[in-house]
Amino acid sequence: MSDLVALLTRLGFDEPRSLLQSGQSRFRTTEKQPFTRRLLDAEVLKRLGLERVFRSLEDEWKAVIAANPFPGEAKSDPDISSRCFCERVPEPENVKAAAGGIKGR
């Protein structure tokens, strides 16, 4: 992940950080969204060999947090809350299979 943070720094993004070895990162920019997305796609492919980059904006994250059906639990024990973002709507049987692995249901 240090390579990803270094790349984001070289590209001029502010405050780049990564989350452990997850491939997740965050940064700030004043650039317009379409330019930022095209630049990230091109540079991550060229320098890191990764073809898929999932991006979300701060406002999108705020909406996800606001829609949390368990805000009290997320605040008191944030380690029990997680989100999964998909590139496209998953098939119903895959959702059912994934839900079957959740403990405490």
Please say whether the beta carbons of 25 and 4 come within 8 A: yes
pLDDT of 33 reads 62
Element (H, E) at 103: none
Tokens of 25: 């990162």
* Chain mean pLDDT for the chain: 79
Determine what percent of the chain is predicted with pLDDT higher than 70.
88
Element (H, E) at 24: strand 24-28
* Of 89 and 82, the one with more pLDDT: 89
Residue 34: band (very low, low, confident or very high) from pLDDT cuts 50, 70, 90:
low
3-class secondary structure, 61 = helix
- Please give the average per-residue pLDDT across 83-104, as a whole number: 79
- Please give the average per-residue pLDDT across 16-40, as a whole number: 76
- Please give the average per-residue pLDDT across 94-98, as a whole number: 85
pLDDT digits (tens, 9 = 90+) for 53-68: 777 777 888 898 888 8
- Please give the average per-residue pLDDT across 18-44, as a whole number: 76
* CA-CA-CA-CA dihedral for 86, 92, 93, 95, to nearest 10: 40
